[in-house]
Amino acid sequence: LLLLTDRVKAICTLNGQVVFEDVFTEKFGPLKRMVKDPNTGQVWIHTERAVFRYHVQRESRDVWKMYMSMGKFELAKEYCKDRPECMDIVLAKEAEHCFQNKKYKESAKCYALTQNYFEEIALKFIEAKQEEALMEFLLKKLSNLKSSEKIQVTLLTTWLTELYLNRLGVLESDTSKENQYQETRNEFRKFLSSHRNKECLFNNRASIHDLLASHGDTEHMVFFAVLMQDYERVVSHHCQHDDYVEALNVLSKHKDVKLFYKFSPVLMQQIPKNVVDAWITMGKRLDPKNLIPALVNYSQSAGTQQINEAIRYMEFCVYELKETEQ
């Protein structure tokens, strides 16, 4: 506060601007003195004829604006923690400042915390060809969504999957960017494995599988299928790629009897000994009657081995499982 003979001025110490001015008429006489009460914070001013009292309230209410205009965004945010509408303005200003200075990732993080239109911001990064920043924005936005906002969660999850696959495809074709590829691959797997995204990914697993298939990313197709506990798809994939041992390993690990019945005929033609070993390990969990298609599905090229293994399993059923049905 600045006391003059005919007026009182309040000057901001941050920028030197006058934020308040009170002019006195001549009838009160010149202002003599100003005193502040240390207990109440009230300011007293007197002339020879009158006494005036000033009560300063919320002195720092507009400090955030000043810090924001000075580019001191962290300080600005400190002064509007309890005022979300002001915080939103500061974050938007900071985001724009970072964008203008080509600090795109920092800009994305700030924009994700604002109430600005999602489409406008996404388009902003797309037009600037800043895919990494766009992904940062989408990831941050996704983490701030509530589980009840299912449509938005689905949209962002699907879009991010597409962006990850695009990026992996670009990096994989460039041998000089092996480290970036591995880093992005790990990030993508972490994204797919995220507990937060689990429900959305499960509910939209068919769409995600289609996306993975359209990019020819068999590695992540299998990875995602395992995450979704879609072991039928995993076993089918291994069989299609002639990896019968791995297909049997998946069956043996998860012990799903229905899948054993479904895939045993195919596997019996290729690796009969391994299959019978797995059947024996499963013991009474398997119903021998349901394995008959696999036992009689002989091929000419490996007929003898299949017959021998079929006999071995039937002997196991008779002598170990005590099966008496014919």
Distance in angstroms (rounded) separating the CA atoms of residues 198 and 196: 6
Under 8 Å between Cβ of 306 and 298: yes
Distance in angstroms (rounded) separating the CA atoms of residues 254 and 26: 95
Q: Within 21-116, where are the H helices? A: 63-69, 73-78, 84-100, 104-111
Distance in angstroms (rounded) separating the CA atoms of residues 99 and 83: 24
Q: What pLDDT score was predicted for residue 141?
A: 92
- CB atoms closer than 10 angstroms to residue 238: 21
Q: What pLDDT score was predicted for residue 87?
A: 93
Domain ranges of the chain: 2-54, 60-144, 151-229, 255-326
Give the tens place of pLDDT for each residue, 272-320. Answer: 999 999 999 999 999 998 988 888 765 444 567 888 888 899 989 888 8
Which residues are within 8 A (CB) of 226 and not within 5 positions of it... i.e. 6 or more apart?
Answer: 234
Could you tell me which of 208, 218, 214 has the C-alpha nearest to residue 240?
A: 218
Q: Is 48 helix (H, G, I), strand (E, B) or coil?
A: coil
Which residues are within 8 A (CB) of 293 and not within 5 positions of it... i.e. 6 or more apart?
Answer: 264, 265
Q: What pLDDT score was predicted for residue 277?
A: 95
Cα distances from 160 to residues 84, 125, 151, in angstroms, run 28, 14, 14
List, run by run, the mean pLDDT of 10-residue segments along the chain (326 residues).
76 68 80 83 82 74 83 89 89 94 94 89 93 94 88 93 93 88 94 90 91 88 90 91 92 92 92 94 91 72 75 89 68
Under 8 Å between Cβ of 155 and 148: no
Which residues are bridge partners to 21 per DSSP?
9
Radius of gyration of the chain (CA): 36
Q: What pLDDT score was predicted for residue 14?
A: 65
Question: Structure pTM?
Answer: 0.70
Distance in angstroms (rounded) separating the CA atoms of residues 315 and 280: 11
Q: β-strands 33-36, 2-3: how paired?
A: unpaired
